[in-house]
Amino acid sequence: MKIKYYDLSGIYEIPIKRYEPEDAVTGFIVAVHGFGGDKESSAIEALAKRMTTRGFAVIAFDFPAHGASKADGYFCTANCRLDLMNVFEHACGLYPDADIKAVFATSFGGYITLLSLDALPADVRIILRAPAVDMRATFENMLPISLDKYKRAGSVEMGFERKVNVPYSFYTELCENDISQADMQREMLIIHGDRDDVVLPEYIKRFCEVNPKARLEVIEGADHRFKGAGELEEVIDHSSSYIIK
């Protein structure tokens, strides 16, 4: 497996991490991290280790204010959607003869992917790991302060290793782009843990009820991060089987 780091230039630079097989590339997967995550995700690395042996390139990137991104002031859902599409088009340019194209997205990245489905070709295979299908409710549950205090302050600091300054306008975007009960009219694979306390099982159940084309795989005992014994391997098994049908 070969790994290459570089930046994709635009209004701001998008940090890229690209995994490639040693031999010819026959397909590609754009990997999208979650809120507070980055392109160094262990799930993305595990996916790349599996799929590069099968001829796939995996292209991961950092959203604004995440990972190695220096575009802190550009963090919003609209820019995240643009980044996803820019990276997807970049991958299409790198691998014009790819037989299979896919997007593997986690949590907030899953939400961004769902918002972008109308721009992703119908033959792109969509795999969503614990997708934040009700991102508004998920974000409200994550907030360290009340909504009223958040609105008055104008922003709030959130995240893990790297903190993200999240403006209140981000929350209004979530309110304006509620997909929790929208039929996306698209086939997709959703992988979820039945003990997820971030994206609650009831959110996924409600979304799947109005999305009959979605295939749901539930991993018993798994929480939002899939860190239990064998859980990540099960995620990769489901994902690889769906990509290579």
Q: Where are the domains of the chain?
A: 2-243
Residues 39-45 have a mean pLDDT of: 96
Among residues 182, 192, 171, the alpha carbon closest in space to that of 213 is found at: 182
Q: How far apart are CA 182 and CA 214, in angstroms?
A: 12
Question: What pLDDT, on a 0 to 100 scale, did the predictor assign at position 235?
Answer: 98
Residue 44: pLDDT band (50, 70, 90) is very high
pLDDT tens for 126-154 read 999 999 999 999 999 999 999 999 999 99
CATH code given to domain 2-243: 3.40.50.1820
Among residues 175, 173, 170, the alpha carbon closest in space to that of 65 is found at: 170
- The overall pTM is greater than 0.85: yes
The conformation of residue 243, written as its DSSP 8-state character, comes to H
pLDDT tens for 69-119 read 999 999 999 999 999 999 999 999 999 999 999 999 999 999 999 999 999
